[in-house]
Amino acid sequence: MKFSINTPKPRNRMAVAARQRHAGAHRPSGQALRQRAKHELRSTLQRELRHERPPSP
């Protein structure tokens, strides 16, 4: 009688390490998105204020 032991498929160590450190899609965090929106709003308002000033004499 022959015995056969099924060995599991070898794992990719790099994939396991990436998974454990939460690697994945690179996208800005929520805080970064809020900061960008705030900056864009401020710059838009500044641009609008520059165009609405009365002409200097």
Cα separation, 23 vs 17, whole angstroms: 9
Read off the tokens for 1.
């009688």
Cα separation, 45 vs 41, whole angstroms: 6
The pLDDT tens digits for 8-23 are: 887 888 877 776 776 6
Q: Alpha-carbon dihedral of residues 15, 21, 23, 29, nearest 10 degrees?
A: 170
Cα separation, 43 vs 40, whole angstroms: 5
pTM of the model: 0.47
Question: What is the residue whose two structure tokens read 């790099």?
Answer: 14
Q: Is residue 57 very low, low, confident or very high in pLDDT (cuts 50, 70, 90)?
A: low
Q: Which amino acid is at 28?
A: P
